[in-house]
Structure 1
Amino acid sequence: MAGDCSFSPLCPGRSERGRNTVRAIFTFLLTLLLASSTLFASAQLPGKKPDKFEPVVPDFTEPSADWWTGWVEASTEERKQWLEALDKAWSARRENLPEDEELQKRAKAISQSLKGVAVTWQKHQEYEKISVLPDVKFPKNPDVQAWAKADAAVTRGRRRLMGIQLEARQLDETLGQSLSQLRKQVVLLREASGEAEKEAAALALLQTQINHINIIEQRETLEEFLGNWQEKVDLAEGQLNQMLDELQYSAEAAKALEKDIEEQTEKIERIGATRTSIQGSPETSTDPDTNMKKDLTLMELEVDLLEGHLKKRKAELLQSINNVLDETAEEEQTLVVSRDLLETARTLIDGNSRELNLRQRQVMAWRGEEGEDLSRWWRYFERIDSGLGRASDLVEDVQRYEAAQLQIYKQRQGWWATVRERTSYMAEQAYKRWRQLADYQLFSIAQNPITLRDIAKIIFVMVCAWLISGLTRRFLNRLVRKKHASESSMYNLGRVLHYSIIGVAIIVVLAMLGLDTSKLAIVAGALSVGIGFGMQAIFSNFISGLILLFEQPLRVGDLVELESGVFGRIRDINVRSTRITTRDNVDILVPNTEFVAGRVINHTLDDPVRRIHVPFGVAYGSDPDLVREAALEAAERVNITHTDWKRKTEVWLMEFGDNALNFKLVVWINSNMVSPLGDPYALYNLELLREFREKDIEVPFPQRDLHLRSWEASLPITRRREDE
């Protein structure tokens, strides 16, 4: 093996295939080395110089619809170059416009739109100078008052952020409307015919396009500003939560909060006394202005009183937080919890807002929009509206303070100490979210808004009506089972009560939807017209169903036979149709009009005992007495046979037939004992056959006698003569 070089590429005895393989490997390595050198050399070359930006200046006599679309992708410097080029080209074009008043007015508007883009950029620079949270501070070792100041500053920043978000949504809607206006102006330019009309349409399209560019700039500027504020507000909220975890007890804060609570209490008592004195003063004037002034003053005092209670609650919550931080306190601190204040505050704010709107409409109706003393009333409205706004903000502050109180108490006293309050707080928050969702307007009926709350109320009313109807029918069925009432009477009463309860529920639902129930007569009149045409059959069946329920010619369980041939027992009597189960266990829905207008045989109307005739035949030569005895015995074996002193089973000899003596078994039966799927005739025929076999009575079959005459005798005389 030492001298064997067959595996070496330099071996003289190596095969030609091995040498080709080695040559291929060296070629691949050389190619890879050259490619790497080329890539390395190309990486050292300077990058390709980008194309120079060329702003697009439209043809002002007929601007294209998409010349401005590159504005979105352009950089800030490119947009400035583009605006400068547009302004320069437009100034040259404006000098050559015809001396037409309408065209000059449109040209002035276009110049202002171009300046508006530059103004938007200046606003962007001003936005960058604005401090998001200028007065917020997060000191070390904070007390509750420092936390309250920081919380107020962060809350102001959050409200400013909400205002910017609202402005951004409005700009989004404006952007969509601007696109619609662009498409409209393009169509108008294409449809313009005259020279002057084309010139005006071109300027209108150009102005709309520049305004759209300005809206794009405003939206991008606001979006950048919004992102900056959102980031800083989120950071401030995180620092505020950390500050809450680091709170420390402060004796000075305790004294300041105690003083604040006393001041708010005195203020509440003073406002309450003033309000009571005004309310208790007798009415001495019939002047509408005097009465309106009194009402507005009382409303303003009520809002101030609510504001005082909410401020006092804020101070009490801060005092509770500060007290639980005191580690030297011997007594265990209790939470300041009262859900009635916030609920009452919301109710008062909503009620006063509606009343304020009503008062504003009254003043506008009395004085008009240009009254001299309208500003005097408007100052009242502004003060009340501002107080309602402050009260709404205080409600949110109290909610935040309650959440902070729960968090501090949980840290200091343990989770179990605040489980009830935390559960109540979470339930309140869930209820608040539900109220916001429930008040969302889905659609409107007769100018009445329909919300999710209304839909839930409607579903609740209908479900309650259905449950009441079901419980009522169950109670009636229970009376039937205990044999305190008849089944048919309770069934009819249950159906009537069901329709009545559902009808009342429908009227209540219509009233909840805001429809005037007094106008149902008009609806009924329109409905009667429809009944006279397309709904005649349905209404006829409905009235027939009511007749069947009240008159009771038919009851559930009756055995009936219709003129159409339907035979069976009644299972249900509904509004439109009646369900009948035949002997074949087939349910047939028969329109109620067929029971009222047609002929109906009710086998169980008053007396379920009825008589049937069962025909049979025996052979000639059978003893009639024996036949009669066998038939009577067969009838006695059938359990549905009814016999008393008045109604007896009989056997009649009806006729002498061609093949048999034809009899009839005339028997009385109880229809209620007949099985819904059985046939009484089959029962009697089976027993008759069994008795005849036991008594050797022959049941005949049809017989015929065939009489043959001679063929010769049957031929005609002339035919026989011809044959002879």
Structure 2
Amino acid sequence: MIQLQTIWDWFRSPIHFPGGISIEPLGVIEMIVLLVLLLWGARWLRRSARILLSRRLDPALAYAISRIGYYLFLALGALIVLQTMGVNLSSLSILGGVVGVGLGFGLQNIFSNFASGLILLMERSIKVGDYIQIKENGPHGEVVHLGVRYTQVRSNDNVDYLIPNSQFVNGEVINWSLSDSTMRLHIPFRVPYGTDREALRDLVIAAAKRSPHTLDVEGKRPGLWVTAFGDAGYDCQLIVWVERNALVRPGGTHAEYHWLLADALEQAGIEIPRPRQEISFARSDEAKAYAEALSRSSSST
């Protein structure tokens, strides 16, 4: 009984920290329990808010509001828990200021990503469900998760990229579905000189219309461009407009149009030209005479 009383007294004995902060071990246990409950409640609130808001708002906006509310609820709840446990927040602010200066240098990138994540959630330049690309030739895919530290982008090969949020705020990002769900594609190909260009235009437009992805509305009709005079023929581009279901799979969409073009050109008897190089070899007697003439020339000089 005396041993239990000793243990209980130890749990009730305050432990002093710099800045005039005193915390009892029993209070630490209570604080951990409250923080676990706080985390569980914040997650439940986030899911519930997202479900309710999605019924009346855009799903991306509902997601952003629920995430911001989640972090605000955690921050406010943590302050209330500390205040309930008897922690003097004014003294804690002094200690937090000292620690914060040290952490600020070591965790600068983490804080930068955190601030960038909040900016993305509030301004909604990138949303869950958007199809984005990092720089011109960087990874691309659909945004499946937008956190405060990183954004999860899933490619068409089912590869997940975890991209720090600071890259979206400070770097170049291509959002293919930000304001318009359609995009114009350029499909390059080449035909030999002398090809009837008017007939070629009708041919490739008819080939493009065989794809269910091709748009054929005012201002967004398929067409043909002759872009350059190459070494072996006309450099051309098939111009098509596609909707979101095609732009989120750019590799497969380009392959489909190349296939349709190849079929149409083959059926019309139009061969895709290739640059040719001719190499001629001199006969042995001519080569021998040339070598003798070169030798006489060098000896006379």
Q: What's the TM-score bracket when you normalise by the shorter of the two chains?
A: 0.7 to 0.9
Q: Residue 711 of structure 1 corresponds to which residue in structure 2?
A: 287
Q: CA 1:443/1:632 → structure 2, altered by over 3 Å: closer, same or farther?
A: farther
> Residue 470 of structure 1: CA displacement?
2.5
The worse-fitting range, judged by mean Cα deviation, of 713-722 and 552-561 is 713-722
> Residue 500 of structure 1: CA displacement?
0.9
Q: Residue 630 of structure 1 corresponds to which residue in structure 2?
A: 203
Distance (whole Å) between structure 1 residues aligned to residue 274 and residue 8 of structure 2: 83
> Residue 651 of structure 1: CA displacement?
0.5
Is the Cα contact below 8 Å between 1:655 and 1:663 reproduced in 2? Answer: yes
Task: Report the AA paired with residue 549 of structure 1.
Answer: L
Is the Cα contact below 8 Å between 2:46 and 2:67 reproduced in 1? Answer: no
Helix, strand or coil for the counterpart of 2:145? strand
Of structures 1 and 2, the one with the larger relative CO (CA 8 A, separation 6+) is 2
Q: CA 1:448/1:707 → structure 2, altered by over 3 Å: closer, same or farther?
A: closer
Is the Cα contact below 8 Å between 2:31 and 2:82 reproduced in 1? Answer: no
> Residue 629 of structure 1: CA displacement?
2.1
Q: Residue 66 of structure 2 corresponds to which residue in structure 1?
A: 494
Distance (whole Å) between structure 2 residues aligned to residue 672 and residue 664 of structure 1: 22
Task: Report the AA paired with residue 517 of structure 1.
Answer: L
CA deviations over 1:391-449 (Å, ceiling 9, x no partner): xxxxxxxxxxxxxxxxxxxxxxxxxxxxxxxxxxxxxxxxxxxxxx9998287444442
Q: Does 1:466 align with 2:40?
A: yes
Is the Cα contact below 8 Å between 1:458 and 1:509 reproduced in 2? Answer: no
> Residue 714 of structure 1: CA displacement?
5.3
TM-score for the superposition, normalised by structure 2? 0.81
Distance (whole Å) between structure 1 residues aligned to residue 205 and residue 14 of structure 2: 78
- Give the ranges of 4+ consecutive aligned residues of structure 1 lying more than 6 Å apart after TM superposition: 437-440
Q: Residue 450 of structure 1 corresponds to which residue in structure 2?
A: 25
Q: Residue 11 of structure 2 corresponds to which residue in structure 1?
A: 441
1:485 to 57, 60, 66: 57
CA deviations over 1:235-277 (Å, ceiling 9, x no partner): xxxxxxxxxxxxxxxxxxxxxxxxxxxxxxxxxxxxxxxxxxx
Structure-to-structure mapping, 1:220-259, within 5 angstroms: none
Q: Does 1:516 align with 2:91?
A: no
Q: Does 1:612 align with 2:185?
A: yes
Q: CA 1:533/1:457 → structure 2, altered by over 3 Å: closer, same or farther?
A: closer
Is the Cα contact below 8 Å between 2:31 and 2:85 reproduced in 1? Answer: no
CA deviations over 1:101-122 (Å, ceiling 9, x no partner): xxxxxxxxxxxxxxxxxxxxxx
Q: Does 1:648 align with 2:221?
A: yes
Task: Report the AA paired with residue 561 of structure 1.
Answer: Q
> Residue 536 of structure 1: CA displacement?
0.9
Structure-to-structure mapping, 1:74-89, within 5 angstroms: none
Is the Cα contact below 8 Å between 1:469 and 1:497 reproduced in 2? Answer: no
Distance (whole Å) between structure 2 residues aligned to residue 472 and residue 541 of structure 1: 21
Distance (whole Å) between structure 1 residues aligned to residue 273 and residue 51 of structure 2: 53
CA deviations over 1:664-698 (Å, ceiling 9, x no partner): 01222223543458543222112212222333332
Structure-to-structure mapping, 1:403-418, within 5 angstroms: none
Structure-to-structure mapping, 1:287-686, within 5 angstroms: 441=11, 444-446=14-16, 447-451=22-26, 455=29, 458-460=32-34, 462-480=36-54, 482=55, 484-563=56-135, 565-675=138-248, 678-686=251-259
Larger-gyration structure (1/2) = 1
> Residue 656 of structure 1: CA displacement?
2.9
Distance (whole Å) between structure 1 residues aligned to residue 8 and residue 214 of structure 2: 68
Helix, strand or coil for the counterpart of 2:269? coil
Structure 2: runs of 5+ lacking an equivalent? 17-21
Distance (whole Å) between structure 1 residues aligned to residue 138 and residue 194 of structure 2: 39
Is the Cα contact below 8 Å between 1:577 and 1:590 reproduced in 2? Answer: yes
Helix, strand or coil for the counterpart of 1:617? strand
The alignment's C-alpha RMSD in Å is: 3.2
Distance (whole Å) between structure 2 residues aligned to residue 702 and residue 443 of structure 1: 88
Is the Cα contact below 8 Å between 1:622 and 1:698 reproduced in 2? Answer: no
TM-score for the superposition, normalised by structure 1? 0.36
Is the Cα contact below 8 Å between 2:141 and 2:156 reproduced in 1? Answer: yes
CA deviations over 1:434-468 (Å, ceiling 9, x no partner): xxx999828744444232x8635642553254234
Is the Cα contact below 8 Å between 1:531 and 1:539 reproduced in 2? Answer: no
Task: Report the AA paired with residue 11 of structure 2.
Answer: Q
Is the Cα contact below 8 Å between 2:226 and 2:236 reproduced in 1? Answer: yes
Task: Report the AA paired with residue 644 of structure 1.
Answer: V
CA deviations over 1:159-200 (Å, ceiling 9, x no partner): xxx8xxx6xx8xxxxxxxxxxxxxxxxxxxxxxxxxxxxxxx
Distance (whole Å) between structure 2 residues aligned to residue 617 and residue 713 of structure 1: 44
**Identity of paired residues, percent?**
32
Structure-to-structure mapping, 1:180-219, within 5 angstroms: none
Task: Report the AA paired with residue 614 of structure 1.
Answer: I
Task: Report the AA paired with residue 198 of structure 2.
Answer: D
Is the Cα contact below 8 Å between 2:226 and 2:234 reproduced in 1? Answer: yes
Task: Report the AA paired with residue 540 of structure 1.
Answer: S
> Residue 529 of structure 1: CA displacement?
0.8
Q: CA 1:648/1:471 → structure 2, altered by over 3 Å: closer, same or farther?
A: same
Is the Cα contact below 8 Å between 2:128 and 2:146 reproduced in 1? Answer: yes
Distance (whole Å) between structure 2 residues aligned to residue 463 and residue 441 of structure 1: 22
Task: Report the AA paired with residue 449 of structure 1.
Answer: E
CA deviations over 1:346-378 (Å, ceiling 9, x no partner): xxxxxxxxxxxxxxxxxxxxxxxxxxxxxxxxx
Distance (whole Å) between structure 2 residues aligned to residue 625 and residue 438 of structure 1: 95
Is the Cα contact below 8 Å between 1:643 and 1:649 reproduced in 2? Answer: yes
> Residue 663 of structure 1: CA displacement?
0.8
CA deviations over 1:556-586 (Å, ceiling 9, x no partner): 1222222372222222221111111123221
Q: Which has the higher strand share?
A: 2
Q: What is the total number of aligned residue pairs between the two structures? A: 288
